[in-house]
Structure 1
Amino acid sequence: MKIDWIHLTKQYDQTLGSRLGLLDFSASIQTGNTVVLGEKGAGKSTLLRLTSTRMIPDDGRIVFTINSDSAFIWSKSHVRASEFSNINLLNEKMSYVPKVKRLDKDTAVEMDLKHRAYATHVSNPKKRVVEAIAKWGLAAYRHTPLHHLQGEVLNRYLLAHSLISDPLIWILDEPTLELDEMSTRLLCYELQQRHTQRITLIATSDMHLAECADDLILLDRGMCRRYGKKKLLTAGVREGTVAAWYKAMQVFTRVKSSHP
Structure 2
Amino acid sequence: MRIEWSHLNKVYASKNHPRSRRIGLLDFTAAARKGITAILGPEGSGKSTLLQLTAALQVPDDGRITYQLEDGETVIWSRGRAAAAGTSALGNLKSRMIYIPPMRRMNHSISLEKYLLYRAQLSQLPYPRRRVAELIAEWGLAAVRRASLSAIPGEMVKRVLLVEMLLRDPLIALLDEPTAGLDHWGKRLLWRELRRLAPHRIILVATRDLRWAECADDLLLMESGTCRRMGPKKLLTANVPEGTVAAWYEMMQTFANHRSRSRRAGLIAERREKGY
Scaled by the length of structure 1, the TM-score of the pair is 0.95
Query: Aligned equivalents of 2:126 and 2:99: distance in 1?
Result: 21
Task: Report the Cα offset of residue 11 of structure 1.
Answer: 1.1
Q: Match of 1:236, SS?
A: coil
Letter matched to residue 222 of structure 1:
G
Q: Which moved more, 1:206-215 or 1:98-107?
A: 98-107
Q: Give distance in 2, aligned partners of 1:84 and 1:119.
A: 20
Equivalent residues of 2:66, 2:74 under 8 A apart: yes
The CA distance in 2 between the partners of 1:88 and 1:119, in whole Å, is 17
Residue 193 of structure 1: how far off its partner (Å)? 1.2
Gaps of 5+ in 1: none
- Deviation track 1:34-87 (CA, whole Å, cap 9, x = no partner) reads 000000111111111111111111111111111243221111111111154352
Asked if 2 retains the 8 angstrom alpha-carbon contact of 1:101 and 1:150, the reply is: no
Whichever structure has more helix as a proportion of its residues is 2
After TM superposition, which residue ranges in structure 1, 4 or more long, deviate above 6 angstroms?
Answer: none
After TM superposition, the structure 1 stretch with the greater mean CA deviation from structure 2, 239-248 or 109-118, is 109-118
Deviation of 1:95 (Å): 1.6
The one-letter amino acid paired with 1:130 is A
Answer yes or no: is 1:5 the counterpart of 2:5: yes
Contact 1:95 1:163 in 2 (8 A): no
Is 2:76 the counterpart of 1:73?
Answer: yes
Range with bigger deviation, 110-119 or 206-215: 110-119
**Separation in 2, partners of 1:109, 1:117:** 12
* Alpha-carbon distance in structure 2 between the residues aligned to 1:199 and 1:25: 19
SS at match of 2:196: helix
Relative to the length of structure 2, the TM-score reads 0.90
| CA-atom RMSD in angstroms | 1.5
Q: Is the contact made by 1:52 and 1:94 (CA closer than 8 Å) also made in structure 2?
A: yes
Q: Which residue of 2 aligns with 1:92?
A: 95
Larger Rg computed on CA atoms: 2
Specify the SS of the correspondent of 2:175: strand
**2:240 aligned residue (237, 241, 252):** 237
The answer on whether the counterparts of 2:25 and 2:226 sit within 8 Å (CA) in structure 1 is yes
> For residue 172 of structure 1, what is the aligned residue in structure 2?
175
With over 3 angstroms needed to count, the CA separation of the structure-2 counterparts of 1:123 and 1:81, relative to structure 1, is: farther
- Does the CA contact (< 8 Å) of 2:81 and 2:89 recur in 1? no
What SS is found at the alignment partner of 2:5?
Answer: strand
Give the unaligned 5+ runs of structure 2.
264-276
